[in-house]
Amino acid sequence: MADVASFRALRYSEQPEPLGDLLCPPYDVIGPEDRDRLYGQSPHNFVRVEFPKPNGDPYAGAAADLADWRLRGVMKRDAAAAIYVHDHEFSVGKARVRRRGIHCALRLHRPEEGIVMPHELTFPKAKEDRLALLRATRTNTSAIFGVFEDTRGEIAGGISRHIEGTRPTAEATVGDQQHRIWAVGDRLAIGEFRDGLAKRRVYIADGHHRYETALAYLDERGAGASPDAPIGYVLAYLCATDDPGLRIFATHRVVRGNGALDRAIDRHFERAPIDAGAIGDIQPGIVVVRDGRYEQLTLKADADVASVRPAWRELPVAQAEELLLRDVREAGAEIAYEHDTKAALAATETGATAVLLRAVDPETLRRVADAGERLPQKTTYFYPKVPAGLVVRPLD
């Protein structure tokens, strides 16, 4: 099934700034103000490579910065190939949580091969951007996030045995989040991990655009390459679906210019008032919030659901996209995506309508992917994102 390999990572060397000041989120959650802040945080912040400002040719600029950092030793290639165990500690409410993943090179497979399984549709413009960056830098600047089943804990247990009692290779603090990295170069440990994954599928949790970009780049530049050439793999952060730190949040929709919204609701859904304080307890599928009013939507018994694919017909996010928001988009409304419930609700104070959705669980994600289906864009939000710049994979 899945095929993984070790690689020689490109990582930051010792710098005057703390390592956490040099990392950035992946490109798809960096807004203009975030980018300005990260640019000002350090001249070596990885945002300059991961998501450069659109001045001149941003991709050539990213490649030039990365080449300069390597030349000056700001970032150095590890001497030996390894897999990189990554403990990511963060807060959810009042609880501290730790998620463990492994950075590795994941062999590229097309979806129809049934080995690396996507679950979400993608946007063409984002893939064009990532492909231009990959062409210029010849580097996997940030990892795709993949999950695999490890019900009996065989892979997790094996990894733990190899790092137990050892000091991390690198540590970083970003806000209230802690990162610890262990470079595991032991051939036995790498072999155990590879053999364990060889019995399993990998499901893409986050990074569908990056994965499809890597496939496109392989098509474009891979002719004549050996089966084990670096271009045939992509940087991946792999986490067990059973990991106690795995968190999936919903991605809510914020609608402005919503004249068509009420018509779509009345055509397909029943409305019922709901108390704001009850949302966290009962986890309703779809809640529309407007002008301080909260309404739970449930599908009408006679609703025409022919446009909703059978594999995800019962999912609130699919019902919302296909039966509620499709007409709204066609009517010209502006729809934004927001994983932070508080931020989505705050938007309603300035005239927007928030469509709050229940999160998709890992088992549903697996079921949809196994059926060969894909969920609407921006269905899942695996929290927190894996930072860019901690472990980088050049293709040279």
pLDDT tens per residue across span 329-387 = 888 889 999 988 999 999 999 999 999 999 988 988 898 899 888 888 788 899 999 99
pLDDT tens per residue across span 117-163 = 998 888 888 899 999 999 999 999 999 999 999 999 999 999 999 99
CA distance 81 to 362: 31
CA distance 242 to 239: 8
CA distance 339 to 252: 6
For 248, the token pair is 């999936």
CA distance 376 to 121: 6
CA distance 235 to 209: 13
Task: Say if residue 281's pLDDT is above 80.
Answer: no
CB atoms < 10 A from the CB of 361, how many? Answer: 12
The alpha carbon dihedral of 317, 322, 327, 332 has a sign of positive
Specify burial of residue 183 (Cβ count, 10 A radius: 0-12, 13-18, 19+): buried
Taking alpha carbons only, the member of 151, 347, 138, 297 closest to residue 222 is: 138
CB 215 within 8 A of CB 110: yes
Taking alpha carbons only, the member of 5, 1, 2, 392 closest to residue 226 is: 5
DSSP characters for 191-258? HHHHHHHTTS-EEEEE-HHHHHHHHHHHHHH-TT--TT-GGGEEEEEEEETT-TT-EEEE-EEEEES-
What's the average model confidence in pLDDT over 46-57?
97
The whole-chain average pLDDT of the chain stands at 94
Kindly list the strands in the beta sheet with 334-338, ordered across the sheet, starting from the edge strand earlier in the chain.
269-273, 293-299, 286-290, 353-357, 252-256, 334-338
The pLDDT assigned to 379 comes to 84
pLDDT tens per residue across span 53-77 = 999 999 999 999 999 999 999 999 9
Q: First CA to last CA across the chain, in angstroms?
A: 26
Task: Say if residue 5's pLDDT is above 70.
Answer: yes
The pLDDT assigned to 153 comes to 94
Q: Which carries the bigger pLDDT value, residue 233 or residue 306? A: 233
3-class SS of residue 299: strand
CB atoms < 10 A from the CB of 171, how many? Answer: 14
Cis (ω within 30 of 0) for the bond into 227?
Answer: no
Taking alpha carbons only, the member of 279, 262, 284, 255 closest to residue 348 is: 255
The pLDDT assigned to 258 comes to 62
Task: Say if residue 303's pLDDT is above 90.
Answer: no
CA distance 337 to 10: 33
Highest mean pLDDT among 173-182, 217-226, 305-314: 173-182
For 304, the token pair is 């025409």
**What are residue 317's phi and psi, to 5 degrees?**
-65, -35
How does DSSP classify residue 80?
S
Task: Say if residue 282's pLDDT is above 80.
Answer: no
CA distance 145 to 386: 8
Q: pLDDT class for 98, splitting at 50, 70, 90? A: very high
The alpha carbon dihedral of 309, 312, 315, 321 has a sign of negative
What's the average model confidence in pLDDT over 19-23?
98
> Kind and range of the H or E element at 366?
helix 362-370
CA 366 to centroid of chain Cα atoms = 16
Among all chains, which residue has been given the structure tokens 């984002």? 126
Could you tell me how many residues make up the chain? 396
CB 36 within 8 A of CB 19: no
CB 329 within 8 A of CB 272: no
CA distance 388 to 237: 11
For 241, the token pair is 């679906």
3-class SS of residue 361: coil
The pLDDT assigned to 260 comes to 84
